[in-house]
Each structure stands twice: as structure tokens, then as C-alpha cells.
Amino acid sequence: MDSVFKALADPSRRKLLDRLRDQNGMTLRDLCAGLGMARQSVSKHLAVLEAAELVTTVRRGREKLHYLNAAPINAIAERWIHRFDRGRVDALADLKRTLEQPPMDTRTFLYTTYIRTTPEQLWRALTDPVFTERYWGVAFESDWTKGSSLVWKQGGATITDPEQVVLVSDPYRRLSYTWHTFTEEWAEAVGIGEDVRAEIAAERRSTVTFDIEPQGDLVKLTVTHDFDAAGTVHGMCSEGWPAVVASLKTLLETGEPLPTA
């Protein structure tokens, strides 16, 4: 965690993180605009943030996009906040955000973590319902080939839809699929009210992608979730992913998932 605290100690780097919080997926040119810093200085600050895993990058065509990565901050919160008084801290933080910040207009959630495992074991943990049920509470039925249907089972509900499909299946490297359908059965099973269910069901269907990269005796996992920019699903899933990924990491490294609340 030393590298995280060192990276956060500089006000310029905190400003860069603030900009990515407000508009994720920015190029170096975008980040330089209006900062009053030389391009070389911004690049150096970004290198420090990347080394601390607070920023992760994705190449799309000829552009290099920068994303805020919440994993290190979440690890700090788990160590010093979650076990003690997470509920009141979250409530105060939500109130502060509501009063001080404009609504976010981002459509992409990106989360990167490093797991002491192998690409083969991580792939199995993402696709085998025996694994996913343990750390996520969700079981999948699919042959995991491109274009195949994906059956989502959660809380006793079985969710199917013709548009619920596998988009990319490159074993041990990349997996992508469309998000599940917000049916009445699913909403009842997980305790979502009909007003919220109807609202999120009207949004454009989102997609999630898992990128797997070997890093020595570790594996780098990047979760990218693309949403309807003006929708509610973004906020719901962005709050849920850190816990899911943390439980996945714990299961693969210790044999047991994180305890459920």
C-alpha cells in the first residue's frame, strides 16, 4: 500500500484521479487540457498512478484510454473501514457526493486486480457454475462459445433471453457477454422493487468483459462493464463489482470466498 499512499500524496495526481472519476476513459491529450501542466509532467504523474494500480489503461485503435481503478482504494477501505463502521461511513460519503458533486456521465466501469493463480484457474472461476455460485451467488449455464446463449441463475430465479449471449470467448485470455435480463422473477428473488426493475429494464442492455493477462506468478484481471450512459444500472453494478472481484480473488488464493454480509 506504500505506493498507493505515495501516489495520493501529490495534489496534481489527485487532480488527475478526480478528472478520471468525473469522466473515465480519457486520453493523455484529454487529461492535459485545462490542467496547466506540461504533457511530459502529466505523463510522469500517470506513470506513478499506473505503478500504484490507481490508473489502468486500455488501447482502442490508436488511442490509449486511462481509467480510474478502484481496487487499491477498496483494499484500503476493507482494511480500515469495512470491519468497523462501514455503514455510517458510506452514508456520510453518499450525502457528501450528493451535495457536492454533479451527476457522473460515464458509461464504462473498469476494475483491475492481481490474483495469485493461473489463467486456466481464473477462466474456470469465471465460467464454472460451481465456482461462480460460491463467490458471486450466481450460476451460469453455457457452452461458452461465441454466440451461445447464457442462462443466469440467482436466488432461485432462472433468467433467459435471446439477447443474453456470449460475445467473446478466447479461453484464458478474454471473456465477454451481455448482462442478464431484469425479469420480474429475478427482481423478486433479489429483493428489487417493481418500480426500480421497470426503470432498469428500460435501459440499453449492458455488456461485461474480463481480460486475463499472466504477470509472472500473478494474473492481471481487468473487468470492463459498459452501460447506458444515463441509466441506473451503472451505479448498481459499480458498487457490486469490487465485492464480487474481491471474493473471487480470495477464493482462488485461499480456497474460501469472502463471508457474505
pLDDT tens for 72-126 read: 877 776 666 555 554 444 444 444 443 444 444 447 888 999 999 999 999 999 9
Question: What's the structural domain count of the chain?
Answer: 2
Neighbouring C-beta atoms of residue 247, cutoff 10 Å: 19
The answer to whether residue 176 sits within a structural domain is yes
The 10s digit of each residue's pLDDT in 21-38 is 878 888 898 888 877 788
Cα–Cα–Cα angle for 255, 258, 259, rounded to 5 degrees: 120
Any domain includes 260: no
Please give the grid coordinates belonging to residue 253. 488464493
Domain residue limits at 76:
1-106
The answer to whether residues 150 and 224 belong to one domain is yes
Q: Which of 106, 136, 151 is the last residue of a domain?
A: 106
Name the grid cell of 27: 486520453
> Do both 100 and 170 map to the same domain?
no
**Judgement on whether residues 112 and 45 belong to the same structural domain of the protein:** no
Residue 1's closest CA among 67, 64, 77?
77
- CATH for 49: 1.10.10.10
Total-model pTM: 0.69
CATH number for the domain harbouring residue 241: 3.30.530.20
All 3 cell numbers of residue 169? 470467448
Considering the domain architecture, whether residues 68 and 141 belong to the same structural domain is answered as no
| Same structural domain, 100 and 129 | no
The more confident residue out of 125 and 14 is 125
- Any domain includes 39: yes
- DSSP structural state of residue 82: I
